[in-house]
Amino acid sequence: MSAYRVLKIALYVAVTVIIIYAIYGAFFKDSIGRSKSTFSFEEPKKYELKPISNPYEVSLNQILINLGEGDFRYLKSEISVEAPTKQDVKLIQKNREILRRLVLEIASHENADHLITPEGKEAFKQRIIDEARMKLGLRISSVYFRNFILAE
């Protein structure tokens, strides 16, 4: 292969790369963390949930769970629980970490294929309420998912 031909192929490759980069940069690149005229090294703003306004609701914060079975392996959710009285709210806040561990334990035995259905979510909520009452002595009237993401 002659040097002329190698140079010609290299030139075609370089031009193709430049064109692809120009198209990618103009149409597909996201401008999070930078403006159109100047580049900024600022951290992108973190998504924050609105604070809970119900005084009887206690957030368990975001939980990442390894599921037991099914097509999905992980559940990422922001879970909060509602207590029937102010005294129960204080008791739940005092035992928040223990309740989080209980939720992790319950979810580790769940089937992801069942959790993806509305009936599965409701059964999961009811199991959290029942187990919290039986194992921890906590009275919970409702369980809320502020987000619910199943992933492989």
- Kindly state whether residues 85 and 34 are assigned to the same domain: no
Domain that includes residue 39, residue range = 1-45
Q: What is the mean pLDDT of residues 8-18?
A: 85
Q: Let me know whether 3 and 68 are in one domain.
A: no
pTM above 0.85, yes or no: no
In this structure, the answer to whether residues 76 and 130 fall within a common structural domain is yes
Mean pLDDT within 107-119: 85
Top-ranked range on mean pLDDT: pick from 34-43, 61-70, 103-112, 128-137: 128-137
What's 136's domain CATH number? 3.30.479
Q: How confident is the model at residue 33 (pLDDT cuts 50, 70, 90)?
A: very low
Question: Long-range contacts made by residues 96-100, C-beta under 8 angstroms, separation at least 24?
Answer: 96/58, 96/60, 98/136, 99/60, 99/132, 99/136, 99/138, 100/60, 100/61, 100/63
| pLDDT surpasses 70 at 46 | no
**Residue 54, pLDDT above cutoff 50:** yes
| Count of domains for the chain | 2
Give yes or no: residues 76 and 131 share one domain.
yes
Among 52, 145, 65, 70, residue whose Cα is nearest residue 112: 70
Whether 95 and 146 share a structural domain: yes
